[in-house]
Amino acid sequence: MKYLDEFSDPVLAGKLVEQIHAVTTQPWSMMEVCGGQTHSIIRHGIDQLLPEGVEMIHGPGCPVCVTPLEIIDKALAIAQQPGVIFCSFGDMLRVPGSSEDLFSIKSAGGDVRVVYSPLDALKLARENPDRQVVFFGIGFETTAPANAMTVYQAKKQGIPNFSLLVSHVLVPPAMAAIMDSPKCRVQAFLAAGHVCSVMGTSEYPALTEKYKVPIVVTGFEPLDILEGIRRTVIQLESGRHELENAYSRAVTAEGNLPAMAMLRDVFEVTDRTWRGIGMIPQSGWKLSERYAEYDAEARFSVTDIHTDESALCRSGEVLQGLIKPHECAAFGKECTPRKPLGATMVSSEGACAAYYTYRRLDHLELSETRLVDSR
Amino acid sequence: MCLAVPGRVLSVEDQDGTTMAQVDFGGLRKEVCLAYIPDVQIGEYVIVHVGFAIQRLDEKSALDTLANFEKLGILEEEFGDGFALAAKQAGEPR
């Protein structure tokens, strides 16, 4: 129990772990969808506190990781155009496109800026009427309301030199795609807390019913995750498959109604390609017809550049929970956070980066042990 | 990416028809859009994601979470210099 003393309330953490052990009678595999939860699980060693056979499968809920190569290349093409101020959240800077990343374009003199909020990008557009300001609108349902409001404001305030490069993705269709995969081992889900803060929980009963899996809405802090796992195991052990909200302090069943109304106005559902996974039908948003003039892809006529992912990188299998990061031959060798082959090694929410940062020594020792065994 | 940080609403003002607020995150102040939690009162806590309040939060939960985030260095990751962070990850001194 080496990790328990790092919890904000070690006593409570210990009790939750004890209860999980007490109710567990057989192996279970559950997926935490959200990359923020993956990071927290590995950082705090939560998976190592669980009973033998209770496995956390790390899901594709890291928008940085699943943004397709094609969109990254479009971002890079736009950011290199003269007169453009290209704004992004900081975690997109080092995601590898087919040949470079936003960070290297900035180093080569491109005007790439990191903003805290998309409204900061709109402010830049207002202050620089002679420049084209583009915001890289990635993210799940949590981030989409911010980007929607920014486009809405651009239209309302008549700011013509602002546009959005949109690559929004949705969680429930991805969960369905994971369950539909023939290789699926997922028996339950921890659902992403802040996605549900915005969207509520009405989309999940259909999933619990169709796939007979428990879904427990969970927060991000270590104690929240332990509580989510505890409730999930109890459901699994009793043969139930229901929706439960273990994060009620931040999630209501109906969600945030004004945010959802704004999303319906500004975006419409579309098919989206997920990096490493492929096309998932109706799994993302694009700008609706009413806001089409703010679409950066159309405004800059960026051509599609189709490139293959690194042949060495197995991030697609990692994102689907089919392999663990250290089971990829390139992990920690050709692929490190300093020189990432795939997006899962870039973002702090990517499973590969979390394993590298917090588990590297364990696996080096592990691989050395294997080496000794095989001699 | 879906991290949301609790903060306390210090003041509220209308900007171009949108409700904006000064919000305190454990000593750090940011301007936050309140359009999605329109009836929030000064002194209340909200959870904020990329400059937008997405839900209310009770004071005790908010303070507990803030203390955790402070301890784990998450506040610095959320509000720090994005380029400096990326440079650090890339192993480049800047």
With both helix axes pointing from N to C terminus, report the angle between A10-23 and A222-237 in degrees, rounded to the nearest 10.
Answer: 20
CB contact under 8 A, A103 and B86: yes
Question: How many of the other CB atoms lie within 10 Å of CB of A97?
Answer: 20
Question: How many of the other CB atoms lie within 10 Å of CB of A374?
Answer: 6
Rounded to 10 degrees, what is the CA torsion of A249, A250, A253, A259? 150
Chain B contacts of A114, Cβ < 8 Å? 81-83
User: What is the pLDDT confidence band of residue A361, given thresholds at 50, 70 and 90?
Assistant: low
CB contact under 8 A, B4 and A149: no
Q: pLDDT value at position B93?
A: 42
Report the DSSP beta bridge partners of residue A58. Answer: A32
Cβ-based neighbours of B54, under 8 Å, separated by 6 or more: A142, A145, A194, A197, A198, A256, A259, B4, B36, B37, B46, B47, B48
CB contact under 8 A, B82 and A90: yes
Chain B residue whose CA is closest to A92 = B86
Size of interface A-B (CB pairs under 8 A): 128
CB contact under 8 A, A197 and B4: yes
Cβ-based neighbours of A185, under 8 Å, separated by 6 or more: A29, A57, A321
User: What is the pLDDT confidence band of residue B92, given thresholds at 50, 70 and 90?
Assistant: low
Chain B contacts of A259, Cβ < 8 Å? 36, 54
Structure tokens at A106: 């900035």
The rounded distance, in Å, linking the Cα atoms of A360 and A54 is 22
Sign of the dihedral defined by the CA atoms of residues A287, A90, A325, B3, in that order: negative
Closest C-alpha to A227, from A209, A246, A204: A246
Q: pLDDT value at position B79?
A: 84
Determine the distance in angstroms separating the CA of B87 from the nearest CA of chain A, rounded to an integer.
8
Please tell me the number of Cα atoms within 13 Å of A288 on its side-chain side: 14
Tell the burial category of A335 from Cβ atoms under 10 Å away from its Cβ (0-12, 13-18, 19+).
buried
Q: pLDDT value at position A243?
A: 98
pLDDT tens-digit readout, A97-150: 888 899 999 999 999 999 999 999 999 999 999 999 999 999 999 999 999 999
Chain B contacts of A198, Cβ < 8 Å? 54
Residue A214 in contact with residue A238, Cβ under 8 Å?
no
Residue A119 in contact with residue A153, Cβ under 8 Å?
yes
CA A102 to mean position of chain CA atoms: 19
CB contact under 8 A, B49 and A143: yes
If one compares A267 and A182, the residue with the highest pLDDT of the two is A267
The rounded distance, in Å, linking the Cα atoms of A75 and A67 is 11
pLDDT tens-digit readout, A23-42: 999 999 999 999 999 999 99
Whole-structure pTM value: 0.92
Q: pLDDT value at position A160?
A: 98
Has residue A6 got a pLDDT over 80? no
CA A108 to mean position of chain CA atoms: 29
Has residue A334 got a pLDDT over 60? yes
User: What is the pLDDT confidence band of residue A371, given thresholds at 50, 70 and 90?
Assistant: very low
Summary mean pLDDT of chain B: 89
Summary mean pLDDT of chain A: 92
